[in-house]
Chain A
Amino acid sequence: MSIEIRNISKRFGNFVALDDLSLDIPTGELVALLGPSGCGKTTLLRIIAGMETPDSGNVLFGGEEATHVHARERQVGFVFQHYALFRHMSVFENVAFGLRVRPRKDRPSEAEIRERVMGLLKLVQLDWLAQRYPSQLSGGQRQRIALARALAVEPKVLLLDEPFGALDTKVRKELRRWLRRLHDEMHISSVFVTHDQEEALEVADRVVVMNRGHIEQIGSPDEVYSSPASPFVYQFLGNVNVFHSRLHGSWAEVEREGDARAAGSIAFVRPHDIELDVAPIAGGMTAGVRHVHRIGPLVRVELEHDGETIEVELTRERAASLDLPVGKTVWIKPRQAKVFAAEATAPAGKQPFLF
């Protein structure tokens, strides 16, 4: 079922959590709400679930007005960051809960409940844990049970609030791939909230990048990464070098657009989009090697130019062929850069967001 968010605003006291935000989520898509903490992503998810009421604006489910439909009647599956399993119920009873609380006329028989619950537990591959209690499960198992519980009521929409946030890296990676496959099996509209850009880019069909209560960009994972719509998106998704064009005039000149020159502009270049060589490069500039970090398959070279730090990422092979001792002078040149007008990058007096 599709979800439409129309001009939603929400304040908590003086804090503006959502500021006139609109968003369409088509049927069957897996959408990530991505942003730093406090950007309003969880509030938006809770408004979709009916656990929070917007101050103004509408929520539509499948084209029908749902803003004031009670959370109980929205047929939404909600998965919490800290699982929120019922601690005094067994795994089986947790999953069965949504079926047992139905009005008597809609309630399935005990045999049907058993069949449904065991089917779901098989789906999440934890049917062997049916009689255990939540406290006896690991974090990853708990989250899968929470998912099975949410699916038991056959929700039209699945909402997940930082579903893997409390898990360790390895389990998190396994679970998010699994979620992706599960989503493809179920064909249910899903929205998940995350502050982890890698998670959003890997799992989602579409990524909604949020900041300070509004949407910065909506697009496929590839779009938001390779053509960020705003300086915020650029800085939030991955590492970035920020060049103030006055300092590095010759660089920013290359791709300057429109009236960016008048306003003063800032160029963003990803560390892996910088060419580095020990021999002079035409149109490049020089910089001194300050540190060389080897991080897994990558080598991150920290350079200094005019008192500013520039990061460049190279493959191991490339770094090995160059021989880069600390203190050596090298030539660098951006392969591609994106230039934004300076005032767009951050409000006056505030540092641009550094990841």
Chain B
Amino acid sequence: MTVRRATAEPRWVRLLLTGVALGFLFLFLVLPLIAVFWEAFAHGAQAYWEALKESEARSAMLLTLTIAAVVLPFNIAFGVAAAWAIAKFEFRGKSLLTTLIDLPFAVSPVVAGLIFIILFGAQGFFGSWLVANEIKIIFALPGMVLATLFVTFPFVARELIPLMQAQGRDEEEAAISLGASGWQMFWRVTLPNIKWGLMYGVILANARAMGEFGAVSVVSGHIRGETNTLPLHVEILYNEYNQIGAFAAATVLAFLGLVTLVAKTVVEWRMRKETEMLTADLPPEKTEQTPTVATERP
């Protein structure tokens, strides 16, 4: 009789579970990805290339990149500030702030978009003032940036809060007592300790910023060549039965997704390596190195 570990399942159970998981992944993740590329190249590489070179497609890509480039620095600044406040200080309303950070995850992106319409739309709270001063927010870049900011805000903060809580305040207090200013403490101690967590949050936020559809769709106005982001562009082309164009644009998004995935894996790997390094087993204390005070003074 073979001896089996108490925690090990029978072979067929393991095979079945693995098979179901892999089959599901294939059906829902790999197959669609293949389909996207298949459709995009259905009329050959030439047609694919033409579809991407077209000016509206290019302006959609540029707009998507612009929004991401504007949103990310804000996300980093807000995320770090919020995480710092929550992880390292005690203050009134802290639990409220923690809840509010999660709000964008809880609210439907369409509702988020509508909020900005209500605030800045022509009939909105600030509408008349904005019109009077000829400031365009809704159906223009600022509105899309705001909507994207709203939906991507939690990523960086969510990633950093547990990390900063785990690290505590000791190192920062040590830096201050050694004479560092607040900025020196931040750049030399805080930031290096959270850099991988921050990177991870930024990657997730970036993926969401580039792929966001709902909130941006509400505030964009779908003006071709002007306020169409890549996801919106895909939808418009698809609705016009322009299969090649829609799927060609979709491949760009899929490609961005793959890049995100790779970057995320690399960062995760670095984070794990660093954690392993920090929690590595200590070598035994060298007892033969019994310290004696040297006579020289520092």
Contact = CB atoms under 8 A, between A and B. Distances in A.
Given A101-B178, A119-B298, A87 B193 contact: yes
A78 B177 contact: yes
B24 to A, nearest CB: 40
B291 A174 contact: yes
A177 to B, nearest CB: 9
B152 to A, nearest CB: 28
A137 interface: yes
Interface in A125-165: 125, 133, 135-141, 144, 146, 149-154
Contacts of B285: 138-141, 168, 170-171
A69 interface: no
A350 B193 CA distance: 46
A195 to B, nearest CB: 19
Contacts of A122: 294, 296
Nearest to B276: A135
Given A78-B174, A119-B298, A125-B291, A137 B180 contact: no
17 contacts: A73-B179, A86-B171, A86-B192, A97-B188, A116-B298, A122-B296, A124-B291, A125-B291, A125-B294, A135-B279, A138-B282, A138-B284, A141-B286, A149-B174, A153-B179, A154-B298, A184-B293
Interface string B269-298: 000000001111011111101111111111
Contacts of B295: 185
Interface string B185-217: 000110011000000000000000000000000
B171 A152 contact: no
A332 B20 CA distance: 79
Interface of A: 49-51, 71-74, 76-78, 80, 82, 84-88, 97-98, 101-102, 116, 119-120, 122-125, 133, 135-141, 144, 146, 149-154, 168, 170-171, 174-175, 178, 181-182, 184-186
A72 B294 contact: no
A135 B176 CA distance: 22
Contacts of B193: 87-88
Interface of B: 170-171, 173-181, 184, 188-189, 192-193, 277-280, 282-287, 289-298
Contact of A123 (B173, B286, B290, B294): B294
B296 A119 contact: yes
Given A97-B180, A101-B188, A135 B174 contact: no
A-side binding surface: helix, strand, loop or mixed? Answer: helix
A139 B179 contact: no
Contact of B180 (A49, A50, A72): A72
Contacts of A139: 282, 285
Contacts of B171: 84-87
A148 to B, nearest CB: 8
The interface centre, meaning the residue of B173, B174, B284 with most chain A CB atoms within 10 A of its CB, is B174
Contacts of A175: 291
B274 to A, nearest CB: 8
B296 A123 contact: yes
Given A119-B298, A174-B290, A174-B291, A97 B283 contact: no
